[in-house]
Amino acid sequence: MENNYDKKKYLTLLSKEYKNIYEVAEEIINLQAIINLPKGTEMFLSDIHGEYAPFEHILNNGGGIIKSKINDIFGTTITKKERTTLATLIYYPEEKLKLIKEEVDDLNEWYNITLYRLVEVAKKASSKYTRSKVRKAITSGFEYVIDELLNMPNWNEKDKERYYKAIISTIIELNQAESFIIALSNLIKRMAIDHLHIIGDVFDRGAHPDLVVEKLENFHSLDIEWGNHDILWIGATCGNKSSIATVVRNCARYNNIAILEDAYGINIRPLSTFAMETYKHDECKNFLPKVFDESKYDESDKENISKIHKAITIIQFKLEGQMIKKHPEYHLDNRLLLDKMNLKKGYVIINGQKYEINDTNFPTLNPNNIYELSSQEKEVIDRLCDSFKNSQKLNDHIDFFCKKGSLYRIFNSNLLFHACIPMTEEGEFKEVEFLGQKIKGKAYLDLINETINKIWLNRSSIDENLLDIMWYLWISPDSPFFGKNKMATFESYFVKDKEMSKEIKNPYYTLTYNEEICDKILQEFGLSEKDSHIVNGHMPVKAKDGESPIRGNGKLLVIDGGFAKSYQETTGNAGYVLTYNSNGLLLSQNQPFESVDKAIIEEKDIISELIVRKTGSQRKLVGDTDIGKRLKSEIADLEHCLNIMNQAN
């Protein structure tokens, strides 16, 4: 029996939110209707690595969803060429309209036909959502008119056609057809993806991580699971010098210094000046950029970036050596290799064995203190540190990343994280030492997540030792962001024996081919092994060698196929798109995206091959999702309130 205090509490809440019983009943009816709608489509993307053009295109085409809807509607009534043009118009409405206006003879007739077709696609794309949600999603104006067109009155066909024609013809007569086409196209794209998951690594390698972040900032609904490269940039923005040196080295390695200078206002001139002077007579052949567009740059540019690359690499190794000596608890002594080189004889000692090195010109190394920065190197890294910490745009982007991000996420019964959970060869969660605690499994990930948020929120006054954790998470074999036995950066640059550059993966990556291990991980996070999945990025799937992104009898899906161009030769594809709609999971493998110009002018879409289709016995409804659970709880509260109100009357 409800006590009087609880009755009063419910009535008080009710009186604040609703005017009367009828409004409460109306809200219950509304929520009951919503939970019986099909669930919205989720899209999962991973390892974007600054490749803005293909990333934007995949968002524009809804991972193939939009073209599929066009084919469903018009597959037997209009030509393939017409369907392709319609799809391209939806993806890039403003750009495509400019071209079409130059090609079409009777523009009004084209507007008339196209508007009808776009309305049909918009109807199908929005059919699983409430009328209110669709209307709120219209951000380009024409809310009332679009709402009318998508929800035609149930008149006879003749009256309906007359009403429909009147709206379309008036839009054209008022010279609003172009704006209306853009508004409809944007609505279709908005309705194609209800929620977006980014499973880590927006930064490094590609040229425009800044544009990717700006696109994400304006996306209607998303979450981010941090990747190792994202963690590196968070640490750098907080002012960790080892992280800063690594970020700059990565940018130099892929000839992307412009990201720092042009996108984020990072002052590279002190580093550039130092590099040109220090390595004036060094060709720096081991430091040629991995990506170099000869149509944009000449040989002098290549030489300059190579010198910058070498200069910041040596600074990085020195800073890392200082970090390892400062933190014996990191257990990274095996990474102290700079002091193991014999430059006169040209070898380095690793694990007690000699290996020939390919470079002996290191003018800034002090033989009495190898890991000490020269005065010029210290000035360079100090000025870089000031630039990173004071870049407003970079701080804004990382702040967004931290607010929207986490190490892992449970969403609609799926477990999402970028890399791995450290495990032993025996299939147990590995117990590690972290911040003075011995910890493992979910508890370990939770503590890391809490620590990263603490560091970011208190970055202006954070203890330096705690800040060093950001670098540890980038490089440690026990980090869930990394998951390999070593980061063989030194070996890849200097050791001639390329076997020494191999990095052995954590047992997680082989164990998870076993369904029982996947079930064990899901159980650790409180998930049912029957209906749940693990979604990872981080490890490019070598599809050309027959490697599969599907593991553990379908329990685990790896969706890193190589967005970054530098990976595509290894993987044989250009990444994966995973979607989860009311009918189940769809995993598609992408072929490389050529360019935006070809997408618009030649109407070249990303070619996707369906890898797996996993459907359930019943269609998933909103009521089956996390949102549905919250709505059901709200309904229960409202029904309770309604009962109390009825009793009071």
What does the H/E/C string look like for 4-51? HHHHHHHHHHHHHHCCCHHHHHHHHHHHHHHHCCECCCEEEECCCCCC
263 and 377 co-located in one domain: yes
pLDDT at 165 over 60: yes
pLDDT at 10 over 70: no
pLDDT at 475 over 70: yes
Q: Can you list the positions of beta strands (E) in 361-477?
A: 405-406, 408-411, 414-417, 432-434, 437-439
What was the pLDDT predicted at 410? 97
pLDDT at 587 over 60: yes
DSSP state, 618?
S
Q: Is residue 449 assigned to a domain?
A: yes
- Measure the CA–CA gap between 557 and 541, rounded to whole angstroms: 10
27 and 172 co-located in one domain: no
Q: Which of 591, 592, 577, 608 is nearest to 47 (CA)?
A: 577
What was the pLDDT predicted at 318? 98
302 and 355 co-located in one domain: yes
Q: Which of 475, 499, 526 is the last residue of a domain?
A: 475
pLDDT at 2 over 80: no
Q: Which of 209, 225, 223, 232 is nearest to 419 (CA)?
A: 225
Q: Which of 501, 506, 455 is nearest to 480 (CA)?
A: 506
Parallel, antiparallel or unpaired: strands 408-411 and 222-225: unpaired
**Which residues face 239 on adjacent strands?**
none
**Which residues face 610 on adjacent strands?**
588
303 and 385 co-located in one domain: yes
Answer whether 360's CB lies under 8 Å from 346's CB. Answer: yes
Q: Is residue 502 assigned to a domain?
A: no
**How would residue 198 be classed by pLDDT, with cut points 50, 70 and 90?**
very high
* Range 485-512 average pLDDT: 94
254 and 184 co-located in one domain: no
* Range 276-305 average pLDDT: 81
- Domain total of the chain: 3
* Range 391-408 average pLDDT: 96
Q: Summarize pLDDT for 203-256 with one digit per residue, the tens.
A: 988 889 999 999 999 999 999 999 999 999 999 999 999 999 999 999 999 999
pLDDT at 510 over 90: yes
Q: Is residue 361 assigned to a domain?
A: yes
Answer whether 70's CB lies under 8 Å from 221's CB. Answer: no
- Measure the CA–CA gap between 604 and 598, rounded to whole angstroms: 6
Q: Which amino acid is at 434?
A: F
312 and 439 co-located in one domain: yes
**SS3 assignment, position 221:** coil
Least confident of 200-214, 397-411, 533-547: 533-547
**How would residue 9 be classed by pLDDT, with cut points 50, 70 and 90?**
low
128 and 30 co-located in one domain: no
68 and 27 co-located in one domain: no
Q: Which of 475, 505, 533 is the last residue of a domain?
A: 475
Q: How large a percentage of the chain has pLDDT more than 90? A: 67
What was the pLDDT predicted at 644? 75
The residue ranking higher by pLDDT, 19 or 633, is 633
Q: Is residue 255 assigned to a domain?
A: yes
As a 3-state breakdown, the chain gives helix, strand, coil percent values, each rounded to 5, of 55, 10, 35
Q: Summarize pLDDT for 600-646 with one digit per residue, the tens.
A: 998 888 777 776 777 766 888 889 899 999 999 888 888 887 777 77
Q: Is residue 143 assigned to a domain?
A: yes
Q: Is residue 295 assigned to a domain?
A: yes
Q: What is the extent of the structural domain holding 376?
A: 228-391+433-475
Q: Summarize pLDDT for 23-65 with one digit per residue, the tens.
A: 888 888 888 989 998 899 999 999 999 999 999 999 999 988 9
Q: Is residue 135 assigned to a domain?
A: yes
73 and 30 co-located in one domain: no
145 and 13 co-located in one domain: no
Q: Which of 142, 169, 192 is the last residue of a domain?
A: 192
Q: Which amino acid is at 250?
A: N
**How would residue 1 be classed by pLDDT, with cut points 50, 70 and 90?**
very low
447 and 332 co-located in one domain: yes
CA distances from residue 471 to 123, 216, 234, 444, 446 in whole angstroms, order as listed: 49, 25, 10, 17, 18
Instruction: Show the tokens assigned to 326.
Output: 């400062």
pLDDT at 418 over 80: yes
Phi then psi dihedrals of residue 425, to 5 deg = -60, -25
Instruction: Show the tokens assigned to 273.
Output: 């000046």
Place of tokens 């892929």: 254
369 and 272 co-located in one domain: yes
* Range 341-346 average pLDDT: 94
pTM above 0.85, yes or no: yes
Q: Is residue 491 assigned to a domain?
A: no
**How would residue 4 be classed by pLDDT, with cut points 50, 70 and 90?**
low
